[in-house]
Amino acid sequence: MDISRFFYRLFLVDSENLPTTFIGSAFPVTPDGGLLTCRHVVDLSIPSGHAIAVYDPVISRFSRISRCPVLSVNPEVDIAYLPNAFEHPKTEFFPILSPSQLKIGEDVYTFGYFSIGGGPENVEQGYFSGRIVNFFRHEYEVDQASLMLPFPVLEGMSGSPVLTYHNGPKLAGIAIGNRSSRILAHEIFEFKDGQTEFKETINRIIEFGVAYHP
């Protein structure tokens, strides 16, 4: 798989088409260059003269997205579609796997871009993999299937595809964020005359990534 043709970075660019802020990730889901990303990535206040743009390695520059993002009717569902995001023909895209073919324990993976702090000069990339931890229903949209991932979704990875192999790479979900859980690391007790005089509990926060099935 050619990473440059399937995994994309979204930025805010200024009037000179220079990047000012890395805002998230996106990937193609239609043969005409339509990109899927998260609502919270593109539904933002854009300064005058700025625009959302995708970095296009085919032409080695930022391609401004002129058409408005198509947002979910339900504002609680964190999905957005960017129609025809490129300035040239594009045929590569990820087919969507039916949710009935996904199971707990299914192998999934993603390749994503992240930047702690959002600076365009500090964008890193990485490969993450594991197995689906569980499925749950969206709090406000019960028909929206969600997956819990074994790895966290780092800042900037929102909008990354979650993939599995099923007669070729197939789209299992779109990474949107994290769920936090607290686990007990250890406890310290001090006793005096058989009574508990002091107790200290130290917890550790762990995060699991969350993805929607589109």
Residue 118 — very low, low, confident or very high, per pLDDT cuts 50/70/90?
low
Task: Judge if 3-82 and 99-181+206-212 fold alike in CATH terms.
Answer: yes
Task: Give me the pLDDT at residue 88, please.
Answer: 75
**Pairing outcome for strands 70-71 and 80-82:** antiparallel
Is the pLDDT assigned to residue 189 strictly greater than 60?
no
Q: In what order do the strands lie in the sheet with 145-148?
A: 124-131, 107-114, 161-165, 169-192, 195-212, 145-148, 134-137
Task: Give me the pLDDT at residue 32, please.
Answer: 84
Percentage above 70 pLDDT, the chain: 84
Instruction: Give the chain's mean pLDDT.
Output: 85
The residues spanned by each domain of the chain are 3-82, 99-181+206-212
Residue 194 — very low, low, confident or very high, per pLDDT cuts 50/70/90?
low
CATH number of this structure's domain 3-82:
2.40.10.10
- The class that CATH gives domain 99-181+206-212 is mainly beta
